Amino acid sequence: MFLIAGLGNPGNKYKNTRHNIGFMVIDEITKSLNLTKINKSNFQAEVFKSQEILLIKPQTFMNESGQSIISIAQYYNIENENIIIIHDDLDLPFGTIKFKIDGGHGGHNGLRSIDSHLGKDYLRVRIGIGKPDDKSQISNWVLSDFSKEEFKCLDEIISHAIESIKALQNMPLIEVKSKFSKKNNK
């Protein structure tokens, strides 16, 4: 079984923000699958289950995502190699999609929390959101809505991310990187 977690912040206030791209991917996946919703308060997450996958949207806010993910991974006895985390990445241009296992958190507080609970050896789907010119604006940037122009591209970006997540469940990471890495030079 795979645990696939999209990172984001709960609540309508954050629904369309750059930081919530992980939630957006999970929302889109849940539309096309026959899933059971799991209600366990100690999970602190929206959890949807099929025979092969768990889809997770932690409800702990970004900075505490690891608490939710570790509780679910332990309950279902899921090894890190079967955990896929979908998250926004400031260091990638908007629309770029890359994959990795291990490595640093790059200042991403959601990844920092997951690393502290799970370690670093889980799969990551990194979706570029670009970054502001002024580093002091990073917090405002990630918590702001995508622009109208960016929204027009999100369907295609999210669809590509979903295809890559399916591949990660069946193919070695090196093949997924080769076939599904998406570069945006803007």
| 19 is a catalytic site residue | yes
Determine the 3-state secondary structure of 82 from DSSP: helix
**Beta bridge mates, 86:** 6, 125
C-alpha 54/C-alpha 37 separation (Å) is 10
C-alpha 181/C-alpha 96 separation (Å) is 8
Helices marked H in 79-137: 109-118
C-alpha 175/C-alpha 149 separation (Å) is 31
Selection from 37, 8, 16, 27 nearest residue 162 by Cα: 27
Both tokens of 113, joined, read: 């929390």
The residues assigned a catalytic role are: 19
